[in-house]
Every structure is written in C-alpha cells, then in structure tokens.
Structure 1
Amino acid sequence: MSTFALIGAGPGLGLATARRFGAAGHSVALISRSAQHLDELTTALTGDGVEAHGFPADVLEPASLTAALEAAAEVAGPVEILQYSPVPRADFMKPVVDTTAGDLDAPLGFSVKGPVTCVSAVLPGMREVGRGTVLFVNGASAVRPNPDRAGTSVAFAAESAYARMLHDALAPENIHVAQLIVPGAIRPEAEHSSPDVLAGRLLDIHRKRDGFRHYAEPMPD
C-alpha cells in the first residue's frame, strides 16, 4: 500500500483529502503541530476504514518535519504522495508598507524551507519506487500579490517558483509536482472550494498527472 503524507492536517481540507486518498487505497500519514489534534483526526479516519497515523511536527522546525516523515515511512512505507497545505498564520499578512525584513523570516520558513525540507525527506523513497506525486495548495496571492498580505504574497510566490522548478526537474523520473490555487475561502457550502470538492480535485490531479498549475475556480479580475 502506498502512503499519502499530509503536511498541515486539519479538520477541513486536510481531513477531506485524507479521507479521499484513504478511500482510494492509500495509507495516510498526518503531520501537524498538535498531538491531540492528530489523535482526533486519526480516530475519525480509522472509523471510516482508513489506515491513518499521526506524526507531530512544526513546519517552522525542519528537524521535526524530517523526523516525522522518516517515521511515517518506517510505519507505513515510503511516501509516494506528499501534500503540502498548512494554513499560514494571521501575522504573516501585514500590509506591505508595514512589513520589515524580519517579518518575512517566518513566512519564508513556512512556505519555502518547509516544502524544501519535506521534499528532501520523501524524494529518495519516491525515486526508489520509481514514482511519486507532490501537491502544493496555495491561495490567490501565490499568483496575484496582495499588498495587504505581504508575507504570504512573497512567500507563496517563492513556493510557487520552487514547485515549478521541481515539476520540470522531476517529470523525467515519473514524479509529478503540481499546484492547486484556491482563490477564495474554503467553505463547506462553496461550489468549487469546499473541502470535499477540493479533495476530489487533488486526487484527480494526482491521477491525471497533467500540467503544473491548476485553479479551484476562475480568478476574479
């Protein structure tokens, strides 16, 4: 059984995506800061018949991320699908004129160093089995900078550049890297951006392996 590892497990999109990939036959490794949170999510997934395990880690602490992904591979097998979709902190979203150089340290650690750490941890296993998928989920500021959310705009743009370079570099190795842009808020009632709909899109992107950037819905002008 292949392993789906989710960075930024939560009760919304994270849980919906874990359910969808679990129902498709993948074991699930959930990674989040809160051990209690992970226990609740793994209990819910186990109740749905999904093999799920939780591994505490903080995306701003690279050593903890590496340790969590290594533990996941030991418990459930090499990670063949990695989804990086933690929710940015509110303090990343200062207006650009109020943003200092120091204010960018955490957003860049969150959206650049975190993904690089995760990919470095799972790439050897993907290469060993000869296949893999890496999924990045970002908001609209990844492609359209928002002056009121400077930290995430700068960091998401850097994450997008990294992901695009990975897409090009790893395609010859049968490792597909893709990005899903979610322009609006993720809400249960949203037609295109509900957790369940987005989870279906992510599974579809994994299966079709077609192109790098995808949009949950058209970007508003």
Structure 2
Amino acid sequence: MIDQATLITYLAILLGFVFIPGPAVLLTLARASTGGTRVGLATGLGIAAGDIIHTLMAVIGISAIILASAFLFTLVKYLGAAYLVYLGIRAILEKVDFSQPAAATALSPKAAFRQAVLAEVLNPKSALFFLAFLPQFVKPENGAVSLQLVVLGVLFVLMGLVSTVAVALGAGSLSTFLRRNPLVLRWQGKVVGTIYCALGVRLALQEK
C-alpha cells in the first residue's frame, strides 16, 4: 500500500491542482449557471466518470498505446476539440422560448452527464495526466503497481468531484435568479457557447 509520506505529498499537490480553474471547472460552471444545480452536479459526476475511465485505461495500458502513437493522439485530440466546439456552436445558435418555463428549456441532468463523460474521455490531456503524473507516486516496494495506480486515480477523481460539486452548488444557486431575467437568459447561451468553443480550440492547439 502507498506509504503515508507519499500519500500526503500527493494529496497536497492535488489540493492545489483540482481547485485551479480548468476545463472541468469551466464546464461545470457553464452548465450549472444555465441549467441549475442538478445539471451542474450531473456535469461534475460525468467528468468524474470520465476520469475513472482514464484511470482504468492507464492501469491496463491503453493510454500508453494512444500516447505512443502520434496519429491516435491527434485523432482523439481533434475528436474531443470538435465535440466541444459542436456543443459551443449549438449553445450559441440555440433559440430560447421565453413563453416556456426555464425548466423546460434547460438541458436535462442525464444529457449533461452524458456530454461531460464524452468530453472528458475525448480529452487526451487527461490520459496524459494519468499516465505521466500518477506513476511518479508509485513505488514497487509498496505493493502491486496496478493497485497503487487505482488508489491514486480514485483519490484524484474524488477530490476533483469535490471541486466540481462546490462550483455546481455555487453557480446553481445563481441560476434561478439569472434565468428570471430574459435579457440575461438571451445572452447566457452565447457566453456559455463561447466558453465551450474556447475550450475546444485550446484542446486542439495543445501538444503532447
């Protein structure tokens, strides 16, 4: 099992890492501000589910295969970028029906969860993080390497989930107020769509 000193060091690094605003936080913030707390929480859970998949991929070595191939890495990167840009353009062009209640026009938590899982799984930078960062805290003398990777990955997922849940709760509490204002509601989708497009472009321009 992981020794205490290594575990404390790892958790201290994660504490700073997961609370720095990044794609996961921005996605959760955007969803919670437009759809409310439940949609924000579903987005955070979707991101966590995607990170669990990345953890499993790192353990069984699929991530290493993808990252060893420039073609596969580029393919996954552009698929993820295209998906985010697609979500962004759809949000920008979406017309809001002000005759319908806010709940009727909001994205459902189930759809938000699915989109978040797909967006996170299609982010090769996440695969690179789990493959390059986690092994630095693995020591063969502490037992099975695969078990250590799973423990480290789960800890990252849990701390990341705490971060996105906090963001969802904070942004979700403002959602009801914002959605009562037609002018805010009209421009909110465009702002959120711009965030998605920016995240997609950022992903597309990133290198290994």
Higher relative contact order (CA 8 A, sep 6+): 2
- Structure with higher Rg: it is 2
TM-score tier, shorter chain, comes to under 0.3
Higher share in helix: 2
Higher share in strand: 1
TM-score w.r.t. the length of structure 2 is 0.26
TM-score w.r.t. the length of structure 1 is 0.25
